[in-house]
């Protein structure tokens, strides 16, 4: 029962589409006879365009482009003619529904565009270059180019550096794009393509596109395309040798030079303070000829000298242990680790296999 309903719906849909096609054709035939109606016709056709059958859209694109030219809208004219010439490849359309005079004008309009406006019918990578091995990158990529009319082309890099130039004929041209050593390390590369009609070089057309990269990496690996590093998850190289240090003998010795430089120096300074304090200061204080004022001032001096002598003596004692040096005779013995070496060799084999599995898919994407 459901199948019968679908069979009944198919003719109904076809009938609706046929009526819709007849409606817009009748509207075009009537309004294009009066150029003043072009703005209203453009608005109506643009509203109907998404619902029209695909085979009707080429003709509608051409008619809207013509009407935009009559209305003085060059940007809109370019948009719709680019759609007609590029997307629908200048498909031959049946314009018999138009009045003869109008039909002749539209055909001349189409011919003028086809003569001078190169449309890029194909821009893609050659199938064999759509995928590459990251660690063995190709030296160049091959682009498939095809234009709607013979023209000269120039292919430029994003920075303006020329990459290729030549002539496009009627068929598909294979253009080699040289690649730098780091091409596969960047996820997107922009290019500019200039198409110049041979009989009208002043009408050069610019096309912008990008080659985008997508990386395929094994599940057990971590990969950084910018640095080109590949690691296996949870696996790192292991040391293949182990060093043991053994003390064979050790002894103590008295460092005379250090003793003189540190301990003896402080002892002598401390002894000098004690000596001056015991001779000059104390004798002056004990002398009956010294006045009371001189004796009172020398009491403070004696105290300072005593403290200085004690300080330098303590400093010498604290440095005394450091003059006894410990000499050690050490033996280092290196031991091989065969298990670690075997693990590292297996890691290298697994890494080499993983590198072969890192693939890059390349695709061309137009930039509006």
Q: Give the pLDDT score at 262.
A: 79
| Integer Cα distance of 297 and 290 in angstroms | 11
**Would residue 223 count as lying in a domain?**
no
Q: What is the pLDDT of residues 290-309, one digit of tens each?
A: 666 665 666 667 677 778 77
Cβ(155)–Cβ(193) below 8 Å: yes
Residue 199 has what pLDDT? 77
- Looking at the structure, do residues 195 and 269 belong to the same domain, yes or no? no
162 and 253 belong to one structural domain: no
Classify residue 12: in a domain, yes or no: yes
Residue burial 184-208, b: 16+ Cβ < 10 Å; e: rest: bbeeebebbbebbbeeeeeeebebe
Query: Where is the domain boundary, 78, 111, 144?
Result: 111
Residue 240: inside a domain: no
Q: Is residue 129 part of a domain?
A: yes
Residue 238 lies in a domain: no
Q: Are residues 302 and 283 in the same domain?
A: yes
What range does the domain containing 42 cover? Answer: 2-111
Element (H, E) at 15: helix 2-31
Q: Do both 6 and 106 map to the same domain?
A: yes
- If one counts the domains in the chain, the total is 3
Residue 227 lies in a domain: no
- Among 111, 136, 159, give the residue marking a domain's end: 111
Name the average pLDDT for the chain: 85
Q: Are residues 25 and 107 in the same domain?
A: yes
Identify whether 236 is part of a domain: no
Say yes or no: 7 and 80 in one domain: yes
Which carries the bigger pLDDT value, residue 331 or residue 43?
43
- pTM to 2 decimal places: 0.62
Question: In CATH, what number is assigned to the domain containing residue 71?
Answer: 1.25.40
Q: pLDDT by residue (tens digit) across 44-70?
A: 999 999 999 988 999 999 999 999 999
| Position 8 confidence tier, pLDDT thresholds 50, 70, 90 | very low
d(CA 179, CA 194): 20
Q: Please tell me the predicted confidence (pLDDT) of residue 277.
A: 67
pLDDT tens digits, one per residue of 107-123? 999 998 888 888 888 99
48 in a structural domain: yes
Q: Same structural domain for residues 140 and 97?
A: no
The answer to whether residue 82 scores a pLDDT higher than 50 is yes
In Å, how far are 120, 169, 195, 349, 367 from 206, measured between CA atoms?
10, 18, 6, 49, 11
Residues 150 and 107 in one domain: no
Report the pLDDT value the prediction gives residue 293, as an integer from 0 to 100. Answer: 60
User: Percent helix, strand and coil across the chain, each rounded to 5?
Assistant: 50, 30, 20
Based on the domain organization, do 95 and 126 belong to the same domain? no
Looking at the structure, do residues 69 and 127 belong to the same domain, yes or no? no
3 state SS of 210: strand
CATH number at 136 reads: 2.60.40
154-201: pLDDT as tens digits: 999 988 999 999 999 888 999 999 998 899 999 999 999 999 987 777
Strand partners, 246: 331
With contact defined as beta carbons under 8 Å apart, do 313 and 267 qualify? yes
Domain shared by 11 and 97, yes or no: yes
Q: How would residue 32 be classed by pLDDT, with cut points 50, 70 and 90?
A: confident
């Amino acid at each position: 029962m459901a199948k019968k309903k679908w069979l009944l719906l198919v003719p109904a849909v076809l009938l609706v589409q046929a009526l819709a096609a007849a409606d817009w054709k009748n509207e075009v035939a009537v309004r294009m006879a009066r150029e003043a109606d072009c703005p209203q016709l453009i608005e109506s056709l643009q509203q109907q365009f998404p619902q029209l059958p695909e085979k009707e859209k080429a003709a509608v694109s051409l008619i809207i482009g013509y009407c935009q030219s009559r209305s003085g809208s060059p940007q809109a004219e370019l948009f719709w003619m680019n759609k007609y010439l590029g997307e629908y490849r200048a498909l031959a359309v049946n314009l018999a529904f138009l009045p003869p005079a109008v039909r002749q004008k539209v055909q001349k309009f189409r011919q003028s565009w086809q003569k001078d406006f190169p449309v890029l019918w194909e821009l893609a990578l050659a199938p064999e270059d759509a995928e590459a091995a990251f660690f063995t990158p190709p030296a160049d990529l091959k682009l498939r180019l095809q234009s709607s009319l013979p023209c000269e082309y120039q292919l430029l890099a994003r920075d303006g550096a020329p990459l290729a130039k030549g002539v496009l004929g009627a068929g598909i041209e294979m253009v080699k794009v040289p690649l730098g050593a780091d091409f596969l390390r960047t996820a997107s590369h922009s290019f500019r393509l200039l198409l110049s009609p041979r009989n009208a070089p002043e009408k050069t057309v610019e096309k912008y596109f990008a080659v985008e990269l997508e990386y395929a990496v094994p599940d057990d690996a971590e990969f950084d395309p910018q640095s080109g590093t590949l690691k296996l998850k949870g696996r790192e190289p292991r040391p293949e040798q182990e060093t043991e240090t053994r003390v064979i003998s050790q002894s103590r010795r008295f460092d005379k030079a250090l003793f003189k430089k540190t301990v003896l120096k402080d002892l002598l300074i401390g002894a000098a303070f004690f000596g001056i304090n015991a001779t000059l200061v104390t004798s002056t204080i004990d002398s009956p000829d010294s006045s009371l004022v001189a004796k009172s001032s020398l009491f403070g001096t004696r105290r300072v000298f005593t403290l200085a002598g004690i300080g330098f003596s303590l400093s010498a004692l604290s440095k005394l242990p450091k003059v006894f040096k410990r000499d050690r005779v050490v033996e280092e013995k290196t031991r091989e680790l065969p298990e670690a070496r075997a693990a590292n060799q297996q890691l290298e084999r697994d890494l080499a296999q993983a590198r072969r599995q890192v693939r890059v898919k390349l695709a061309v994407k137009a930039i509006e």
